[in-house]
Amino acid sequence: MKDFFLQKHKDAHCRARTGELHLSHGTVQTPSFMPVGTNGTVKGMYHSTVKDIGYNLILGNTYHLYLRPGCEVLQLFDGLHKFSNWDGNILTDSGGFQIFSWSKLRKIYDEGIKFQSHIDGSRHEFTPEKVVDIQQVIGSDIAMVLDICSPPGIDRRKTIKAMDITHAWAERSIARRDSLEELTGRAFRGKLFGIVQGGFYEDLRIQSARTISAMDFPGIAIGGLSVGESKEDFIKYLAITAEEVTYAKPRYVMGIGTVDYILEAVSNGIDLFDCVLATREARHGTVFTDDGMLNLKRASNRLNDGPIDEGCTCTACSKYSRAYMHHLFKCNEMLGGMLASEHNLTYLYNLMLRVRKAIEEDRFLSFKEDYLARFYADGGLNRK
């Protein structure tokens, strides 16, 4: 079997790189954006459409899938792939961020997290071991450990406590992964990634990056970013963390979907990223173009007989006009959100093709500069 991660080319002028992830359900070219399929589906998209665009790795969420449909259902189908009829790869978040987001419904202690379901208020508990077990049931190709996210503004003492618990949980997750075959007769099916924390303190970020990098994980996620901090802090702490996370393993930054954040991550040698932004914005009528974000609801599109984006191969651009898309959104027709979602995911997939080509040709930094200058020339809005 091929090595899990193969680095193909590093840009001569920065840390950007291309590579390949060899997973159970096929190869993924990196850098790669992952569409978010929280509940086992990318909203408004057929799996076949997602695959036809070119994606072979989507993201699901352990917290949501644990609550619905539940492990009993997923076990019946031997995992999410068969249940959802998706034959590509699946990465699952641990659910820690979702529990963090609903802070009034949870309590963190050394053993794990006690929380109430946001759906019906029922009480549950996640431990590092249980989260590994759930992702084994899901059949995740890449699985995340349970961690504690430290938001901006939290004091140093609380950040240290959260980081120390995250590190202890990482060790327990590895132990659970390694003991699964003995416990259940089946080895862990995916690749378990550790998560770096440390909040917004330089020394803690460095400490966490070095600690997690030294553990027996095949890949590393950089957590605790894009959680409400300023763009300046995102850039600063991403660079600090990426500098210390081992370069020998694939690196993943969770929850980034704007083009400037994606390209900043790539320039720091990040291989994977995901965000709901592409499909969420699409459902509200906003789409990506090289000239910024285009709001299809604007009156200026009512008589525009051109496509969203010249040269784009998505269904919306190849078959319909901006005027028709404008009409769909003004009438609240669900087809509008479906077509716009396909466009945004097609756009980001093609952007990654352009990014990888620029890296292979050692010109990523100039590509990034030129691309962002055009995208934000009108404040990030396409007014054409």
Distance, C-alpha 171 to centroid of its chain: 23
261 and 296 belong to one structural domain: no
In a domain, 80, yes or no: yes
In a domain, 258, yes or no: yes
In a domain, 106, yes or no: yes
Distance between CA atoms of 151 and 302, rounded to whole angstroms?
A: 42
Q: Measuring CA to CA, which residue among 276, 272, 222 is closest to residue 38?
A: 276
Distance between CA atoms of 98 and 255, rounded to whole angstroms?
A: 12
In a domain, 384, yes or no: no
> Where in the sequence is the domain holding 105, given as residue range(s)?
5-275
Last residue of a domain, one of 251, 275, 299: 275
For the chain, 384 residues long, give each residue's pLDDT as a single digit of tens. 468 999 999 999 999 999 999 999 999 999 999 999 999 999 999 999 999 999 999 999 999 999 999 999 999 999 999 999 999 999 999 987 777 776 577 889 999 999 999 899 999 999 999 999 999 999 999 999 999 998 899 999 999 999 999 999 999 999 999 999 999 999 999 999 999 999 999 999 999 999 999 999 999 999 999 999 999 999 999 999 999 999 999 999 999 999 999 999 999 999 999 999 999 999 999 999 999 999 999 999 999 999 999 999 999 999 999 999 999 999 999 999 999 999 999 999 999 999 999 999 999 999 999 999 999 999 999 988
Q: Are 24 and 189 in contact (CB under 8 A)?
A: yes
In a domain, 233, yes or no: yes
In a domain, 163, yes or no: yes
Q: Is 216 a catalytic residue?
A: no
158 and 180 belong to one structural domain: yes
21 and 124 belong to one structural domain: yes
84 and 107 belong to one structural domain: yes
Q: Give the E-state strand segments of the chain in sequence order.
A: 5-10, 17-23, 26-30, 32-34, 57-61, 89-93, 106-108, 113-116, 123-126, 142-144, 191-196, 219-222, 251-253, 272-274, 286-289, 292-295
87 and 66 belong to one structural domain: yes
C-alpha Rg value of the chain to the nearest Å: 21
Indicate the number of domains in the chain.
Answer: 2
186 and 311 belong to one structural domain: no
* Active-site residue, from 11, 133, 274, 309: 274
289 and 342 belong to one structural domain: yes
Distance between CA atoms of 188 and 208, rounded to whole angstroms?
A: 25
153 and 267 belong to one structural domain: yes
In a domain, 380, yes or no: no
Instruction: Kindly report the CATH number assigned to the domain that includes residue 9.
Output: 3.20.20.105
Q: Are 192 and 143 in contact (CB under 8 A)?
A: yes
* Active-site residue, from 11, 93, 147, 309: 93
In a domain, 365, yes or no: yes
120 and 172 belong to one structural domain: yes
Q: Is the pTM of this model over 0.75?
A: yes
Q: Is 93 a catalytic residue?
A: yes
Last residue of a domain, one of 226, 254, 275: 275
Q: What is the pLDDT of residue 1?
A: 45
How far lies 311's CA from each of 282, 290, 315, in Å?
A: 19, 11, 12
Residue 319 burial (10 A CB sphere; 0-12, 13-18, 19+): exposed
Q: What is the pLDDT of residue 103?
A: 58
Distance between CA atoms of 22 and 9, rounded to whole angstroms?
A: 16
290 and 266 belong to one structural domain: no
Distance between CA atoms of 316 and 342, rounded to whole angstroms?
A: 8
Instruction: Tell me phi and psi for residue 40, to 5 degrees.
Output: 90, 15
Last residue of a domain, one of 275, 306, 327: 275
Distance between CA atoms of 63 and 75, rounded to whole angstroms?
A: 16
Q: What is the pLDDT of residue 4?
A: 96
18 and 77 belong to one structural domain: yes
18 and 83 belong to one structural domain: yes
